[in-house]
Amino acid sequence: MSQFIDVYAKSTGEKHRVPAHFMDVPSIAKQFTKTPRQRKADERAAARQSEPVASNQEAAQVAEDQTPDAGDKKE
């Protein structure tokens, strides 16, 4: 499935929805500018991708630390 983005046509200023891969092709991309809302969405997506994600091993260690041992009594 193709992702669409909001852009303005530089020649007319009209707003359009185009496939995201259009912005990867320089000859097509030079005709458009992303809307401010689309630029912010791209920034948020890039920030989300750069956040460190805990590995499965780290998540298992945290879960193990929070699990009571067999001999522990409830308080």
Q: Where are the domains of the chain?
A: 4-66
pTM of the model: 0.60
Question: Cα–Cα distance between 58 and 39 in angstroms, integer?
Answer: 34
| Mean pLDDT in residue range 20-27 | 94
pLDDT at position 50: 82
SS3 of residue 15 by DSSP: strand
More confident residue, 30 or 2: 30
CB 38 within 8 A of CB 23: no
pLDDT at position 58: 66
Question: Cα–Cα distance between 52 and 27 in angstroms, integer?
Answer: 35
Q: What is the pLDDT of residues 28-70, one digit of tens each?
A: 999 999 999 999 999 998 998 887 765 566 666 655 656 666 6
